[in-house]
Structure 1
Amino acid sequence: MTKSLANFTGRMLLVGCGNMAGAMLDRWLQAGLDPSAVAIVDPFAQPRAGIGHFGSTADWKAAGGAADWIMLGMKPQQLGEVAADLAPIVTDDIHLLSILAGVSLADLAQRFPDARAQVRILPNLAARIGAGVSAVASLGDSDAAAVDALLAPLGTIVALADDMTMDLVTAFTGSGPAFVFRLIESYAAAGERLGLSPDDALKLATATFGGATALLAESGEKPGALIAQVASKGGTTQAGLDVLDSDGQLAALLTNVLRAARDRGRELADIARGDA
């Protein structure tokens, strides 16, 4: 599948353009998306050359123009307010895309019943450099090939049969980069405590994590097989692994991290529906 959007003929309205939606848009522009085919409704969005910016939702028709793709990228808590104004222009020729955490396809279908399709996308921040992962599920008459072509420049696409696991995916891949960054930060901090300079510790930690994940992706091997290639019985690596593996604490900690993020996604869904 081509990753160029030079031939993308649709017109897109972004409702909200914060960190995640902005990362997606920047990557799309790098891939050749015509800026004149995009409009943004967000009073705080960073200006981008050639793109129409609107600071309020006062006139959706002016903001949307002839948009046939509309992506929701604001805070999930704003869904009710936005939907009240936006729903009348979401007609049966529009793909409605959503990156809103916790907002299900059923919620979108209820708010925007006339959309051609409701498409829920869970991207992550590495989309900014084309190395992200986007989990996708949809309802309605979705043009899967067109959706895939739009998402291909962002990185890996994982199509889900439905969005039943999306709250977990939100935590696992959407929030995942922040958890990895925290691990790298903590790894570097440990190196500092044991004598490395701050700059050296961060450079070494970043290169170690980056090289390890690149090797895992490139080799096609399981993590355990690669661990065995590094660790030898009674060696330095095994001594460290014994601490990591002690009483299953690492797995338990990460499970609790993912559970907390998943459960917060469900809470946000309740808020978006007005149930909380």
Structure 2
Amino acid sequence: MATDTYADYFDFVVTDIDYVIQREPDPDWGVTSMVNSSSYILAYATSGLAHYRFAGREDLLVREGDVLFFPKGMAHSGHADEDRPWSFLSVAFDAVAGAGNLDEQLAVVDHLNRGSFASRLSAHFAELHLAWTQRKPGYLIRCRAITMTILHELIRQQTLPHLDSPHARELITVIELMRANYRQTYAVTDLAHRAGLSPSHFRALFKQFTGLTAKEYQHRIKIAKAKEFMLSGECNVTQAATRVGFADIYYFSRLFKKIDGRNPSELTRR
């Protein structure tokens, strides 16, 4: 089973649900240059067809089982197909990052998601609409949780490495080595040798596989582990830095701020 190479990158929670709506087929339905500045939008096509324009892409055909995602501020236009007007479920939500930049984290989610994994989200959208309309005690908590589940599935699908990728097993073995030995800092030549690849080939494949260089990936592993040590109360900043292999506390602090968005001392004051 593949390792989620972005495991330490995503850290956010859905905080508000503005609405959950179900639209029945209507050949006259359409929006023009719609921009929602206060909410993110997810929409699931339950039947029929629609035609969309967004992000420089013209006349995209949206069909049953597709999932649309529109970040805040993204202009989009669409209309129902005249012969087979679509029906859809949509949710408008807001979220906040626990660490890092939220928009950068959500940027991995495609605006148009298609395939068997997307169509499998049908039950989640149906459950979300039911919870919203029934409004039983705790429904807002339930709606936030379901929206988080949908986002998790979209992110997981688009960031989980596939075993049929070139040299995937070798790269996963290297990643597991770095995670298990987070105190160590491995040179690219060493990692390439362990993967049975030339350094240049390894660099290219690793970046394609994870979206990060090997050095950047090791830094994320180390910072995530240091964060655990500090939040648990087990270590102060200097101790955490030392335990994950940093001798220079000032470099560690700068790197922590760059990756996590906070100064490490903020975690030890809790």
Q: TM-score range by the shorter chain?
A: under 0.3
Q: TM-score, normalised by structure 2?
A: 0.28
Higher strand share: 2
Q: Which structure has greater helix proportion? A: 1
Q: Whose RCO is larger (CA < 8 A, sep 6+)?
A: 2
